[in-house]
Amino acid sequence: MEWTKDRISEVVEKQRKFFRGGKTLDVDFRIRQLKRLREGVLRYSKEFEKALYEDLGRSENEAYLCDIGTVVMEINEILSGIKSWSKPETHFSGLACFPSIITKVYKMPYGVSLIISPFNFPILLSLGVLAASISAGNTAVIKVSSKSVNCSRALKKIINEIFPEKYVAVIDGGHDVADFCLEQRFDKIFYTGSPKVGVHVMEMAAKNLTPVALELGGETGNWCIVRKDADLKDAARKIAFFKLCNSGQICININQVAVAREVADEFIKELKNQFVSQIGMRPLENEEYPRLIDKRAYEKCMNEAKDNQDKIIFGGHGDDICLKFEPTILYPVDINDSIVNHELFNPLLPIVPFDDKNINKVLDIIESREHGLAMYIFTRDKKWAMKVMSSGQYGGGCINEVCLHLMVKGVPFNGVGHSGMGAYHGIWGFREFSHPSTVLIGSRFFNLSLREHPYNGWKNSWKKILTKGFEK
């Protein structure tokens, strides 16, 4: 079925009518829907694994680790906390409000939400965000990626089986269909993708003053810093794993590595060994090695490699039939070169050498650019690393580790500036898809007239005295 503007409008109106019926306000209803979603994900796990392989060449293990199992973990975390998260808060109103001393804060859903998901983690970034939306009591329209066609087909199948269209609907199609969605009046929009499209989403949302959450990759990519005192073998092992994962098509992946010149040769030797150890001498022939999503992404990667051919010291070859490109090390790369001034989203890995004594200059340059979604530091000086991580601006990150901050329960996943706004995962997703509504419960008795006219004259001077006392 082809999605037209009128058809999408009809779905949105159905969902708005269903939301106004009040059914989603019931926390027990939300819990039942989350359990249904979890059961569906587990039931369709093999179909999702197959779709992820067909779209991205992902192995079963990587598919479950990064997409399917992570959704299940997300739902389980929500189910364990949703009852306490959704309870109204009770506050003392303060003497200034006497005698109305009780105030409630209700956690209210926005209403009809729009979730626009990307191709790189099509299951996680559709159903994981959906779980957050459901937890807060919203209905949802999911606009899936037109690039990951097999995953989009599987998502449509599972959602149509589990939920009625008036509650959750999946819409597929290209950019024109996405714009049809953005032209509708939604109550909350959650977009995952590029900063460029993020700007477009915000412009469209502004027409209806719709609140937006953005999870973006970062305009100039995510930096990894390897100091001269780092455990080089450990750093290389983890960096290689992460760059191989989904062939680099990850919003929080390492875009470029700044390595201390004093240990650069040793680090690169370890990095080469780790790539070979983990994916073999012929990665293009390895069935476990993922491919790039489409011809356009492959050609972009190939052209970038050709433009920097003189710096390639490992890899550099691709297969335009299977759309795989080798993990590729470029060295030495200047910190001002073009390739380290934009997000790559592929298996190219530029290495920028620096004198360890000049690390602060490197950090100043990184901070002067657009904020990344992630930062990674490898060093034995944890005190220094903690100071850097607690003073820089980026979405999140790790010290002597990669990507695992994404898996920690109870903490937010978010970006800042060109890497996004808003946050989700667990309670943070619940908060992102709900708004706090403050309600004071008034009293009919013992009301003081200090807030009422008249204020002037000696007979009313006590009003100002009491007001000053109450508002301290």
Check 215, 219, 326, 370 and give the catalytic one: 215
pLDDT at 413 over 90: yes
Q: Where residue 95 falls among pLDDT bands split at 50, 70, 90?
A: confident
249 Rama sector, left if φ>0, alpha if ψ -120 to 50, beta otherwise = beta
| Phi, psi values for residue 262, rounded to 5° | -60, -25
Query: Among all chains, which residue has been given the structure tokens 């002597």?
Result: 400
Q: How far apart (Å, rounded) are the C-alpha atoms in residues 117 and 406? A: 17
Share of the chain above pLDDT 70, in %: 99
Q: How far apart are CA 271 and CA 86, in angstroms?
A: 47
pLDDT band at 121 (very low <50, low <70, confident <90, very high): very high
Of 193 and 470, the one with more pLDDT? 193
Distance CA 348, CA 255 (A): 8
Report the C-alpha gap between 331 and 312 in whole angstroms.
6
Q: Which residue has the tokens 């990626």?
A: 145
DSSP string, 417-448: GGGEE-EESTHHHHHHTEEEEEEEE--SSS--
Q: What share of the chain is helix, strand, coil (3-state, %, to 5)?
A: 50, 20, 35
The residue-averaged pLDDT of 331-338 equals 97
Give the pLDDT of residue 446: 85
Q: How confident is the model at residue 468 (pLDDT cuts 50, 70, 90)?
A: confident
β-bridge mates for residue 375, sequence order = 223, 397
Mean pLDDT, the chain, rounded, equals: 95
Answer whether residue 457 shows pLDDT above 90: no
Q: Which residue among 66, 151, 181, 251 is the active-site one?
A: 251
CATH number assigned to the domain with residue range 223-369+374-413, chosen from the 4 options 3.20.20.210, 3.40.50.2300, 3.10.580.10, 3.40.309.10 = 3.40.309.10
Hey, do 5-218+422-435 and 223-369+374-413 end up sharing a CATH topology, with the first three levels equal?
A: no
pLDDT score of 322 more than 70: yes
Asked if residues 187 and 210 have their Cβ atoms less than 8 Å apart, the reply is yes
Q: Which residues in 428-442 are b (16+ Cβ under 10 Å) and which e?
A: bbbbbbbeeeeeeee
pLDDT higher than 70, residue 315: yes
For residue 66, indicate whether it is catalytic.
no
Q: In the prediction, which pLDDT does 459 show?
A: 66
What was the pLDDT predicted at 98? Answer: 85
The structural domains of the chain, with segments of one domain joined by +, span 5-218+422-435, 223-369+374-413
pLDDT of residue 456: 84
* CATH class of the 5-218+422-435 domain in this structure: alpha beta
Question: Given phi > 0 = left and psi -120 to 50 = alpha, else beta, which region is 426?
Answer: left
Per-residue pLDDT at 242: 97
Mean pLDDT check: name the lowest of 4-8, 310-314, 467-471: 467-471
- Tell me, what DSSP letter sits at residue 126? I
Catalytic residue list contains 251: yes
Distances 364 to 13, 153, 227, 324, 393 between C-alpha atoms, Å: 50, 45, 16, 35, 11
Give the integer Cα–Cα distance in Å for 196 and 340.
18
Q: What is the pLDDT of residues 30-81, one digit of tens each?
A: 999 999 999 999 999 999 999 999 999 999 999 999 999 999 999 999 999 9
Mean pLDDT of 374-394: 96
